[in-house]
A and B are shown apart, each in its own frame.
Chain A
């Protein structure tokens, strides 16, 4: 029995890990093709097997060809670099991002016979704090990658990155507090379940309805945490080449890229869980659809679970695509503008959001 429980936990962990990694890889392709679409180019179109196939392999390009190319590249360590920390930094960049998803629920319960499986890797009563703790560790990859490379560009990128990530972490945490106050719990699965109602029987009671401003602040701070345009100063290519990972090559450079994409998946996953009903499908309850007007359509249990899982993935993917759209639409901020936005606008707004949320909760009893 103990063995079965361990096995189930292992399968869940593997599933979530693969979900984040494959979503990140998919995003790389969406990003390349999407940016090409926005900029009126064709985009990545050179994947073929020795030129034999009459057509291009599309997204297989980025899923197989790119990793193969990176794996076979030479691994360079710059002269005068701190070898140990230079080696360690990519791991420190990837690890916190991948473990963050452990607390994010990707479905309700799966019941097989007598076993009830909670579709969440780690059922933590402090889920949100765990997520914040892990994402706050992500900054070490940036700082050390910048410092250990013994390069001016990398050091500048690392310093910019650490200042920016600390600044926006505060706004992000405070924006989340509004949502925590609205739901009254730190447990992400409980928050997901709390969003299964409908206002007036029609509008799904998703977090964004309680916390529109909180969502906005969280999304902006989240994009800043992932260090993407308009907040990509730590790796701004026109100023710093590639910022903190300038001196990395091959798979280590790919690890930094992967952590960037995985971070956007994590931000999208959190936003989905807190503000877009997590795995909830509108009008779908445990035994089937209950449409307004009294129409009930029974749905078998396995299909319900599958629908919830698909709903979660679709929402996460949509938010990721939104982040990509933002990236290819906006210009880059100046450094002082980044700091101003974080400290002078987002932080007071998040505090005001907390205050208003508190007052409303007290007034509604």
Chain B
């Protein structure tokens, strides 16, 4: 049951992820990314990581992707009109090469992974308490550093937004 569910979800994830890259319409690309993130959240639920699943939907699907869509709608982006020529061919070559390297790395990684079903997760695994505990004990430093990084980003965004406001000459 779990395996079938996982297979269906995995196929959905890959198909929607490919749609993100291949669809010419930016709005539909963004929507496909929403679907990808949502299905990933469902896979997290299958792995008993309820907290991460909820956060994935709240933060990525519910907030960040809405901002993406907001910007795309505001800019009124049209369908992707690819510029023909050698530049595009070179870029395409780089993309394929990079993808190939990543695929080989992934294959090497997966090859070493243990196969088989792990035992049932311990009680409370993936809940709010468990996640909070590991965040505030084992990963305290990275966690706090991330918050500083976010603060820097916020300050940077405010500075950039302020620069637009020049005094107008009447």
Show the binding face of A for B, using Cβ within 8 Å.
82, 85, 124-126, 129-130, 132-134, 136-137, 139-140, 143-144, 146-147, 155, 158-159, 162-163, 165-166, 169, 173, 186
Which one of B63-71, B106-114, B149-157 is at the A interface?
Answer: B63-71
Give the shortest distance, in Å, between B76 (CB) and chain A (any CB). 9
Asked whether A132 and B34 contact (CB < 8 A) given A126-B50, A158-B73, A166-B67, the answer is no
- Is B61 among interface residues, defined by CB-CB distance under 8 A? yes
Q: Which residues of B contact A146 (CB under 8 A)?
A: 73
- 11 A-B pairs with CB atoms under 8 Å apart are A85-B27, A133-B41, A133-B61, A136-B57, A136-B62, A140-B66, A159-B70, A162-B66, A162-B69, A166-B67, A173-B58
Say which residue of A85, A139, A158, A163 sits within 8 Å of B62 (CB atoms): A139
Say which residue of A85, A136, A137, A163 sits within 8 Å of B70 (CB atoms): A163
Grouping DSSP codes into helix (H, G, I), strand (E, B) and loop, the A interface class, with mixed when no group exceeds half, is helix
Within 8 A of A (CB), among B66-117: 66-67, 69-70, 73-74
Say which residue of B28, B54, B70 sits within 8 Å of A143 (CB atoms): B70
A124:B58 contact, CB within 8 angstroms:
no
Q: Which residues of A contact B67 (CB under 8 A)?
A: 166
Q: How far is the CA of A134 from the CA of B56 in the complex (A)?
A: 11
User: Which of B66, B70, B73 has the most A CB atoms < 10 Å from its CB?
Assistant: B66
- Is B18 among interface residues, defined by CB-CB distance under 8 A? no
Q: How far is the CA of A166 from the CA of B67 in the complex (A)?
A: 8
B73:A147 contact, CB within 8 angstroms:
yes
A129:B54 contact, CB within 8 angstroms:
yes
Q: How far is the CA of A133 from the CA of B54 in the complex (A)?
A: 6
Q: How far is the CA of A155 from the CA of B27 in the complex (A)?
A: 13
Q: How far is the CA of A139 from the CA of B128 in the complex (A)?
A: 25
Q: How far is the CA of A186 from the CA of B51 in the complex (A)?
A: 10
Q: How far is the CA of A163 from the CA of B50 in the complex (A)?
A: 28
- Is B141 among interface residues, defined by CB-CB distance under 8 A? no
Q: Which residues of B contact A144 (CB under 8 A)?
A: 31
A132:B50 contact, CB within 8 angstroms:
no
- Is B135 among interface residues, defined by CB-CB distance under 8 A? no
A169:B73 contact, CB within 8 angstroms:
no
B73:A137 contact, CB within 8 angstroms:
no
Q: How far is the CA of A146 from the CA of B72 in the complex (A)?
A: 13
CB closest residue in chain B, given A185: B128
Say which residue of B27, B62, B73, B74 sits within 8 Å of A133 (CB atoms): B62
A169:B62 contact, CB within 8 angstroms:
yes
A129:B58 contact, CB within 8 angstroms:
yes
Asked whether A143 and B73 contact (CB < 8 A) given A129-B55, A136-B57, the answer is yes
Q: Which residues of A contact B74 (CB under 8 A)?
A: 159
Residue-wise, chain B 22-48 has the 8 Å CB interface mask toward A (1 for contact) of: 000001100100100000010000000
Asked whether A136 and B69 contact (CB < 8 A) given A125-B128, A126-B54, A159-B74, the answer is no
Q: How far is the CA of A132 from the CA of B128 in the complex (A)?
A: 15
- Is B127 among interface residues, defined by CB-CB distance under 8 A? yes
Q: Which residues of B contact A173 (CB under 8 A)?
A: 58
Q: Which residues of A contact B34 (CB under 8 A)?
A: 140
A124:B57 contact, CB within 8 angstroms:
no
Q: Which residues of B contact A124 (CB under 8 A)?
A: 50
CB closest residue in chain A, given B72: A147
Q: Which residues of A contact B55 (CB under 8 A)?
A: 129
Q: How far is the CA of A195 from the CA of B67 in the complex (A)?
A: 38
CB closest residue in chain B, given A125: B127
A129:B51 contact, CB within 8 angstroms:
yes
A130:B70 contact, CB within 8 angstroms:
no
Q: Which residues of B contact A159 (CB under 8 A)?
A: 70, 73-74
Q: List 7 A-B pairs, minimum CB-CB distance, nearest first.
A: A136-B62, A129-B54, A133-B57, A133-B58, A133-B54, A162-B70, A126-B50
User: Which of B28, B61, B128 has the most A CB atoms < 10 Å from its CB?
Assistant: B128
Give the shortest distance, in Å, between A146 (CB) and chain B (any CB). 8
User: Which of B51, B55, B62, B63 has the most A CB atoms < 10 Å from its CB?
Assistant: B62
Q: How far is the CA of A169 from the CA of B74 in the complex (A)?
A: 21
Q: How far is the CA of A173 from the CA of B62 in the complex (A)?
A: 13
Q: Which residues of A contact B27 (CB under 8 A)?
A: 82, 85, 147
Q: How far is the CA of A134 from the CA of B54 in the complex (A)?
A: 9
Q: Which residues of B contact A139 (CB under 8 A)?
A: 62, 66
Apart from A126-B54, A126-B128, A132-B54: 13 A-B pairs, beta carbons within 8 A: A85-B28, A129-B55, A132-B58, A133-B41, A133-B58, A136-B57, A137-B57, A137-B62, A140-B34, A155-B73, A162-B66, A162-B69, A163-B70
CB closest residue in chain B, given A88: B31
Q: Which residues of B contact A132 (CB under 8 A)?
A: 54, 58, 62
